[in-house]
Structure 1
């Protein structure tokens, strides 16, 4: 009876996804904590920024919770909470775009990105996350696809955290690609792990393909006539309209 009551040992696959979720949360905490410790973040920021921050941080820990529930066999609770996650993921996409638009309208794009590139980089990234999350939800009954697509979606959201850990001023004009290289560490490890075992699940190719395609599309879309027109429409009548969309903003004092 005691033997039957013992929980089955965690599989290698379950362990990988749980440790990956924890590692993502740790990177997010490290990145944003570093900014706060260095005085680059403040509680005096606009209220919507706090909503955005808590939503993104909350989502990260919700992902860890959901991964832990699936890993430990609490599948029924995982599925019930999943519908909360669906609405939360949609809010992440909306808040990400709203915050990005607000920053370029204030002329507050990070100085290591051209403003028009920043507008499309952030917006396309959260849309990519939304697409991968939607695909994962639609394939929720196919656990092998579900967990890998969500893992890739979470990878996309790691950009801001890595952007706070990397020496971004030193990476101009390749800062965007540096962040991309950093976030790809996670799915590359997943692919490498499965390749070593003989077969890579196709969900990895779809997930990483979406991330790569999004990254490659950013600059061509941002600097196209349509991208510049969108930037002009977004910033019309705001301080952002006085900022050149295609030039790097000046370094802030003390940098």
Structure 2
């Protein structure tokens, strides 16, 4: 999952950054740093448990609570920034609809992290819920190569002053169009389920619960994004932040 988070952003972030193109949108820079930091944090936590340092793992876990909180805050701010930029491109309706994508991912992430924290004394539940929480935020890095190499045919337009999709200066993609990358991200949960089945002879219920919840959110967000209720909520959220 950490490799996916890194490699997925190579064509739209790491490669242009290496060529000298900066990230000029501050909230997106902080948002990216926090989310990529989470994947490294999870790797470190897994390593601590694997090396037998469970006490250290628990102590460092408090940092994870703060990190997850900051991710949700800046994730919402980044989503609002994206919608605001869409309004500037005369694509306000598309921006209002698309904001359901990052907000739904943040919802799934928040619920799964909270569930993992509540199950901190049940390690078999805790670790699976944390891995599932990480899987649901991989939609963005999976979508970047999907957009660049499939939608754009490997020939993205030149960046305009900043890296990332914001640098392409175009309207957000349709909500339904980013469903495949989101489903691919959930395959990490499926991998865990297969591992359980092969090693334990059954799938742990934490994966069924987490996977079912995450999939339900993905299925419901597409019809929700086209409703007047959602557009009204999105406009209110954008207006509060601006």
Compute the TM-score of the two structures, normalised by the length of structure 2.
0.80
Q: Residues 37 and 52 of structure 1: is their aligned pair in 2 closer, same or farther, counting only changes over 3 Å?
A: closer
How far the C-alpha of 1:231 sits from its partner, in A, is: 2.4
Deviations, residues 147-185 of structure 1 (Å, cap 9, x unaligned):
000010000110111011224527976422211221022
How far the C-alpha of 1:235 sits from its partner, in A, is: 4.3
Question: How far apart in 2 are the matches of 1:223 and 1:122?
Answer: 15
Question: How far apart in 2 are the matches of 1:81 and 1:99?
Answer: 27
Q: Which residue of 2 aligns with 1:232?
A: 235
* Residue 59 of structure 1, aligned match among 19, 34, 38: 38
Q: Which residue of 1 aligns with 2:120?
A: 140
Residue 97 in structure 1 maps to residue 76 in structure 2: yes
Question: How far apart in 1 are the matches of 2:202 and 2:9?
Answer: 36
Question: How far apart in 1 are the matches of 2:56 and 2:240?
Answer: 49
Q: Which residue of 2 aligns with 1:31?
A: 8
Deviations, residues 1-30 of structure 1 (Å, cap 9, x unaligned):
xxxxxxxxxxxxxxxxxxxxxxx1111111
Q: Which residue of 2 aligns with 1:205?
A: 208
Report the number of matched residues.
Answer: 215
Question: Which 10-residue stretch deviates more, 113-122 or 123-132?
Answer: 113-122
Do 1:93 and 1:130's aligned partners in 2 also have CA atoms closer than 8 Å?
A: yes
Q: Which residue of 2 aligns with 1:160?
A: 140
- Report the aligned-residue RMSD: 2.8
Question: How far apart in 1 are the matches of 2:126 and 2:26?
Answer: 34
Q: Which residue of 1 aligns with 2:98?
A: 118
Task: Pick the structure with greater CA Rg.
Answer: 1
Ranges in structure 2 where 5+ consecutive residues have no aligned partner = 154-172
Ranges in structure 1 where 5+ consecutive residues have no aligned partner = 1-23, 240-255
Do 2:96 and 2:235's aligned partners in 1 also have CA atoms closer than 8 Å?
A: no
Question: Which 10-residue stretch deviates more, 102-111 or 186-195?
Answer: 102-111
Question: How far apart in 1 are the matches of 2:63 and 2:143?
Answer: 28
How far the C-alpha of 1:52 sits from its partner, in A, is: 1.0
Structure 1 ranges of 4+ moved more than 6 A: 108-111
Do 1:152 and 1:207's aligned partners in 2 also have CA atoms closer than 8 Å?
A: yes
Do 1:105 and 1:234's aligned partners in 2 also have CA atoms closer than 8 Å?
A: no
Question: Which 10-residue stretch deviates more, 67-76 or 39-48?
Answer: 39-48
Map of 1:36-47 to 2, 5 A cutoff? 36=13, 39=16, 42-47=21-26
Q: Which residue of 1 aligns with 2:51?
A: 72
Deviations, residues 158-215 of structure 1 (Å, cap 9, x unaligned):
0111011224527976422211221022111111222234211000011101110110
Q: Residues 237 and 85 of structure 1: is their aligned pair in 2 closer, same or farther, counting only changes over 3 Å?
A: closer
Q: Which residue of 2 aligns with 1:169?
A: 151
Q: Which residue of 1 aligns with 2:187?
A: 185
Question: How far apart in 2 are the matches of 1:189 and 1:83?
Answer: 27
